[in-house]
Amino acid sequence: MQTTAADPAILTRRVREMVDSGRILAARPLLGALKTLAVPGAELAEIEAQLLLREGRVAEALVVLDIAVAAAPEAVGLRLCRADARMRADDTAGAAGDAAEAVILDRTNPQAKAVLGVALIDLGQPLDALACLREAVAADPRHPAYRQALATAQERSGDPDAAAATLAAAIRLAPGLVALRTTAIMVAIRRRDFTGAAELAETARRDGVADACVFGLLGHSLSSLARHVEAAEAYAEALKLAPEDPYVRHLVSSAGVLPQGVRAPSEYLETVFDGYAARFESHLIGLGYRVPGLIRAALLAELGLTPDSPPDSQPVGPVLDLGCGTGLMGVVLSDLPLRPLVGVDLSDGMLAEARAKGLYDSLLKQDLETLLAETDQAWPVILAADVFCYFGALDAVLAQVHDRLADGGLCLFTVEECQDDDGWRLGRQGRYSHARAYVAAAVARAGLELATLRPEVLRWEADAPVSGLLVVAQRAMERGGDAG
């Protein structure tokens, strides 16, 4: 079979087209041919690195890029490619460095400014990012991704109005991009402007660019506006578009369309919180979130500790924080002699936030029921702050807690309270609530003693209190002579 396309220029162009359009399986075998035919240099290295990045081989791409950048430090394309690779490798500072270098090398390059802006957002410098992204948008106003990044920077720097306006302009520019729609809806939801969010979602539906996520957010917004029938319809549409998604299925069942499950699926929790981690704390604290404080106070009372106990007093521990999230319990317990502190959560995003606080001795990514089933440790303290709202029936998990508590060990948890039911029910936002009598009975069935069960306001939503229960349960001390 004759090779007649031996013209390296033609082949280079074809391979670049293939890489740019994501046809990596076609590009890969041609890269070898290209390396045989074409002169090695910045262009070839960039193509190879981009192919490696598309293939998810970030470390190998970085090796190629480091060599190529050293050989051609002024090649803007290589710098931008390495910035991309470094972002993927979580080296945000390195990425910012490359992007800054690219901006210096080519002051008119909007892509360089945009990449720098995105890196600066990740570095927590939204105001600097804002400047870069404004310039990028001015230089290339037709690029919706630049506008989307600008909106993020605006929101992070405390100007959600500007973010919403930027996104509206971006949507006019690229009405078919669903990512812009979801970003705009999320901005509205974070501002608790559910009417605006629902309108944005409805517009997306009318424009034919609504995916499962848009319908899910529409359902969320409508449900927050107490328009429950419409919310259920929106969730049903979401399920048609994402029929295999357990999160969406859970939303549909919480809206009463499907039979109820016993607990929210792990994938649901992971999805919800991964998407939510960055703003989880400010959102919750902004809502008047009281759970960590309540648990802290109860723990102090039960253990007879005071905040000014001497720091060298014998610590109690280990302490297991189930569903630790971003580590809010770690924050409120950090001044108490409770060590070591072990957190467990399903969401990488949440765990990353918790890790950044540096307050946990160990953080595990695991389903909490799996962890309880597998741990050999006897724990003197197990905490479940705002976690059992993702469980319907509590019997199984409380039985596991019982088995893993040390003799005399304490379990402190909160649940949202439902008034009109003897058991538990799945609420419209995908959270379970529990009846007081049910909780007391479940604690007893698990073999635990109920030390405290009292109503508390857990947080405020839309200026209304969300009432719940604070529970302290204790495993009885083993009596001597029982062991056999």
Stretch that binds another protein, among 16-24, 60-68, 372-380, 389-397 (CB under 8 A): 16-24
Residue 174 contacts another protein per CB under 8 A = no
Residue 352 contacts another protein per CB under 8 A = no
Binders of another protein: how many residues, by CB under 8 A?
A: 35
Nearest residue (CB) to another protein, 235 versus 360: 235
Interatomic CA distance for residues 383 and 472, integer angstroms: 9
Nearest residue (CB) to another protein, 6 versus 444: 6
Other Cβ atoms closer than 10 A to 146? 28
Stretch that binds another protein, among 23-31, 357-365, 376-384, 434-442 (CB under 8 A): 23-31
Q: Which of 12, 19, 30, 86 binds another protein (CB under 8 A)?
A: 30
Q: Which of 9, 29, 307, 376 binds another protein (CB under 8 A)?
A: 29
- Residue 90: closest CA among 345, 336, 352: 352
In angstroms, how far is CA 226 from the centroid of its own chain? 26
Q: Which of 1, 9, 70, 464 binds another protein (CB under 8 A)?
A: 1
Residue 180 contacts another protein per CB under 8 A = no
Q: Is the dihedral of CA 419, 420, 425, 431 positive or negative?
A: negative
Nearest residue (CB) to another protein, 15 versus 81: 15
CB of 251 to another protein, least distance (A): 15
Only one residue has tokens 């290295």, namely 45
Q: Which of 14, 191, 228, 283 binds another protein (CB under 8 A)?
A: 14
Q: Which of 12, 19, 27, 109 binds another protein (CB under 8 A)?
A: 27
Nearest residue (CB) to another protein, 4 versus 314: 4
Q: Is the dihedral of CA 328, 392, 223, 248 positive or negative?
A: positive
Residue 252 contacts another protein per CB under 8 A = no
CB of 184 to another protein, least distance (A): 18
Site string for another protein, 210-249 (x = CB under 8 A): x----x---------------------x--xxxxx-----
Are the CB atoms for 16 and 81 separated by under 8 Å? Answer: no
CB of 255 to another protein, least distance (A): 15
Q: Which of 18, 120, 121, 471 binds another protein (CB under 8 A)?
A: 18
CB of 11 to another protein, least distance (A): 7
**Neighbouring residues of 230: CB distance < 8 A, sequence distance ≥ 6:** 222
Stretch that binds another protein, among 7-15, 67-75, 276-284, 437-445 (CB under 8 A): 7-15
Q: Which of 8, 16, 23, 134 binds another protein (CB under 8 A)?
A: 23
Site string for another protein, 37-76 (x = CB under 8 A): x---------------------------------------
- Residue 297: closest CA among 287, 282, 307: 307
Residue 135 contacts another protein per CB under 8 A = no
Stretch that binds another protein, among 18-26, 65-73, 182-190, 380-388 (CB under 8 A): 18-26
Nearest residue (CB) to another protein, 30 versus 338: 30
Residue 9 contacts another protein per CB under 8 A = no
Bond before 110 cis per omega within 30 degrees:
no
Q: Which of 39, 70, 206, 310 binds another protein (CB under 8 A)?
A: 206
CB of 48 to another protein, least distance (A): 13
Q: Which residues bind another protein (CB under 8 A)?
A: 1-6, 11, 14-15, 18, 23-30, 32-33, 35-37, 205-206, 208-210, 215, 237, 240-244
